[in-house]
């Protein structure tokens, strides 16, 4: 009798501990890891998403900036987190679609070790010219570059970025030699362009739009399938005869293995947020294009973009230094 009583008590204790652990997990905040520093449009958007998730789920949702190693530290933190729906990753596209090609020793595969949730916003890129060339379109720019090979260079916000690689695509398509001048961010690159220190800069279109409108530089082409809503007077590459199309994006992920009902619920909340009138207005202020996809749609986009950029990255000869 005593043995049975002890056995039942042990079983009840084990069940109580298990239930207590589950209750603790459900009561802990949902973390959205952003693998870059606070500040800027990307950070502003993730805080909007966190606020809306907090309201709809009636739970604490916090944003955690886990910076370092070009985003790899934050991504790895999410890859290694329990797949219980309490940890999410919000990231630009680079750590997902270019890092597997840029970093040969990446200790995880973001295409397999993360569960897509939703693509929330799109980013377009642009090629801008300054006073050094005086070009008003790509035809005039190519002519100037060929006539001034000693000055032919293009800046970008940094080595290993999509603006870097899309600049290479343009140089190859135009059959011109262009040296790459990496900067530490968009602002210094555009500053030098406006000051006539460099002839061309490949950059996010949103960052160049204000200076373009002010006449301090001229955006010659954008990378979208159609014209940017923020640069409606600028033709796309394709309109000017160049088969170049590229876009960036911000998306949300969960650790692989996260239950699909949880993923679908989060995806629906995020899509409603960015597609709502207030969400669209907020993204317009950031010069981002609202999206809001399903998990399967994001999976298809990331696979297509991974394959699109794999060869340009290889052809660039870029090798990371960190």
- Give per-residue pLDDT as tens, 199-214: 999 988 888 888 999 9
Strand 30-34 to 289-290 pairing? unpaired
pLDDT band at 26 (very low <50, low <70, confident <90, very high): low
Q: What is the DSSP letter of 182?
A: E
Higher local confidence (pLDDT), 15 or 108? 108
- Which tokens go with 13? 């204790």
pLDDT in tens, 56-84: 999 999 999 998 887 899 999 999 999 99
| Architecture of the domain whose range is 31-122+247-316 | 3-Layer(aba) Sandwich (3.40)
The pLDDT of residue 23: 36
| Architecture of the domain whose range is 124-240 | 3-Layer(aba) Sandwich (3.40)
User: Tokens 């958007």 appear where?
Assistant: 45
- Which tokens go with 276? 């709502």
- Which tokens go with 75? 């991504």
Average pLDDT value over all residues in the chain: 88
Distance CA 53, CA 99 (A): 29
> Range(s) for CATH 3.40.190.150 in the chain?
31-122+247-316
> Range(s) for CATH 3.40.190.10 in the chain?
124-240
The pLDDT of residue 14: 39
- Which tokens go with 125? 């890129």
pLDDT in tens, 262-321: 999 999 999 999 999 999 999 998 888 899 999 999 999 999 999 988 888 887 777 776
Which of 110, 57, 109, 111 lies closest to 85, judged by CA? 57
| Size of the chain, expressed as the number of residues it contains | 322
The pLDDT of residue 141: 97
pLDDT in tens, 120-164: 999 889 999 999 999 999 999 999 999 999 999 999 887 778 888
pLDDT band at 39 (very low <50, low <70, confident <90, very high): confident
Which of 210, 209, 190, 186 lies closest to 200, judged by CA? 190
Strand 87-92 to 30-34 pairing? parallel
């Amino acid at each position: 009798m005593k043995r049975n009583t002890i056995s039942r008590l042990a079983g009840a204790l084990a069940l109580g501990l298990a239930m207590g652990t589950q209750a603790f997990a459900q009561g802990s905040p949902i973390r959205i890891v952003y693998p870059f520093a606070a500040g800027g449009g990307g950070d502003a958007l993730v805080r909007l998403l966190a606020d809306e998730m907090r309201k709809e789920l009636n739970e604490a949702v916090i944003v955690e900036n886990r910076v370092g190693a070009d985003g790899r530290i934050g991504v790895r933190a999410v890859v290694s987190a329990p797949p219980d729906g309490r940890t999410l990753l919000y990231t630009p596209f680079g750590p997902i679609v270019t890092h597997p090609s840029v970093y040969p020793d990446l200790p995880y595969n973001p295409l397999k070790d993360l569960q897509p949730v939703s693509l929330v916003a799109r980013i377009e890129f642009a090629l801008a010219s300054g006073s050094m060339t005086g070009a008003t379109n790509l035809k005039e720019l190519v002519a100037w570059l060929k006539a001034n090979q000693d000055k032919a260079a293009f800046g970008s916000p940094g080595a290993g970025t999509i603006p870097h690689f899309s600049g290479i695509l343009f140089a190859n398509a135009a059959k011109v030699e262009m040296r790459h001048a990496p900067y530490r961010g968009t602002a210094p690159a555009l500053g030098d362009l406006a000051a006539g220190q460099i002839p061309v800069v490949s950059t996010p279109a949103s960052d160049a739009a204000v200076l373009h409108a002010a006449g301090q530089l001229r955006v010659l082409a954008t990378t979208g399938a159609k014209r940017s809503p923020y640069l409606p007077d600028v033709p796309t590459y394709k309109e000017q005869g160049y088969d170049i199309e590229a876009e960036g994006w911000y998306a949300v992920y969960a650790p692989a293995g996260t239950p699909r009902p949880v993923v679908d619920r989060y995806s629906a909340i995020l899509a409603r947020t960015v597609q709502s009138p207030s969400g669209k207005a907020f993204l317009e202020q950031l010069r981002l294009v609202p999206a809001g996809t399903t998990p399967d749609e994001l999976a298809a986009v990331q696979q297509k973009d991974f394959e699109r950029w794999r060869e340009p990255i290889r052809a660039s000869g870029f090798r990371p230094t960190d």
